[in-house]
């Protein structure tokens, strides 16, 4: 077994244990392997080990790897997306994670209509009100949610967050709880479904699963340090 295959086994079993602790089904948690900065030969090892979903934060890098790797893989764009890259990435991405403003959402909706697409998107929430982070402030998302729902081309899957870096995995828990409860509240107030929660990275994905993550974005725990 390669190191990467071993790492994937460890991550999968930690996800399964965390799901068991919180009486969830591990099948309801998708593992997105964050392959940014790793070359396609390395990503290929994760494909051989059975992974199908990969996350990249740069459009150019996503497109380049997609060309070099098997066509049945699914690629999520996980970082901030610049409006001028939308047209390039929409046809190639399974989901856009990190839609962080109404104006970006409108741009995606418009380009999607031109291309005849219905992109899956996640709305990014700035859970700790960090000035340095992208994402909707919760109050802003609440007030703009109807406008977002009116963008008929967008298939809004749910919410995503990147908590501030903490010392311990437990430090992220309150932000994961916040995202889940905020999702519940948005659903209640709008009647819309926001089934997915993208939360948890290498150091805190087990906590995220305990708090309801349906997708964890794991890079270094699979591929090593960048
Ligand atoms: C890089 C990145 C990850 C993965 O981080 P690791 O700590 O390597 O698991 C997850 N989500 C986003 C948005 C990222 O940019």
Query: Ligand 1: which of 59, 97, 218, 219 to mutate, judged by most atoms within 8 Å of the beta carbon?
Result: 219
Residue 5 is inside which H or E element, if any? Answer: helix 3-21
Q: Is-contact 33 53, C-beta < 8 A?
A: yes
Residues 189-199: pLDDT tens digits? 999 999 999 99
Q: Which of 196, 194, 186, 187 is nearest to 217 (CA)?
A: 196
Residues 79-123: pLDDT tens digits? 899 999 999 999 999 999 999 999 999 999 999 999 999 999 999
Q: Which domains does the chain have, with CATH numbers?
A: 3-223 (3.20.20.10)
Single pTM value for the model: 0.97
What are the phi and psi torsion angles at 75 (to 5°)? -115, 125
For residue 193, the SS3 value is coil
Q: How far is CA 223 from CA 43, 54, 75, in A?
A: 8, 12, 16
Partner residues linked to 96 by β-bridges: 77, 121
For residue 208, the SS3 value is helix
Pocket of ligand 1 (CB under 6 A): 34, 36, 57, 78-79, 162, 201-202, 217-221
1 — pLDDT class (breaks 50, 70, 90) = confident
């Amino acid at each position: 077994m390669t190191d990467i295959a071993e790492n994937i086994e460890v991550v999968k079993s930690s996800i399964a244990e965390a799901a068991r602790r919180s009486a969830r089904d591990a099948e309801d948690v998708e593992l997105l392997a964050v392959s940014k900065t790793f070359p396609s030969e390395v990503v290929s090892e994760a494909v051989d080990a059975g992974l199908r979903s990969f996350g990249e934060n740069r459009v150019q890098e996503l497109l380049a790897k997609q060309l070099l790797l098997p066509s049945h893989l699914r690629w999520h764009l996980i970082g901030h997306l610049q409006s001028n890259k939308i047209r390039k990435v929409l046809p190639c991405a399974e989901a856009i994670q990190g839609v962080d403003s109404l104006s970006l959402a409108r741009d995606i909706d418009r380009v999607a209509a031109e291309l005849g697409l219905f992109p899956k998107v996640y709305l990014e929430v700035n859970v700790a009100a960090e000035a340095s982070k992208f994402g909707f402030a919760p109050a802003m998302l609440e007030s703009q949610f109807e406008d977002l729902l009116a963008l008929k081309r967008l298939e809004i899957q749910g919410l995503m967050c990147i908590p501030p870096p903490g010392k311990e995995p437990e430090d992220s828990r309150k932000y994961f709880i916040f995202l889940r409860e905020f999702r519940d509240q948005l659903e209640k107030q709008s009647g819309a479904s926001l089934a997915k929660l993208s939360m948890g990275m290498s150091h805190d994905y087990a906590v995220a699963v305990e708090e309801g993550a349906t997708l964890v974005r794991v890079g270094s725990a699979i591929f090593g340090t960048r």
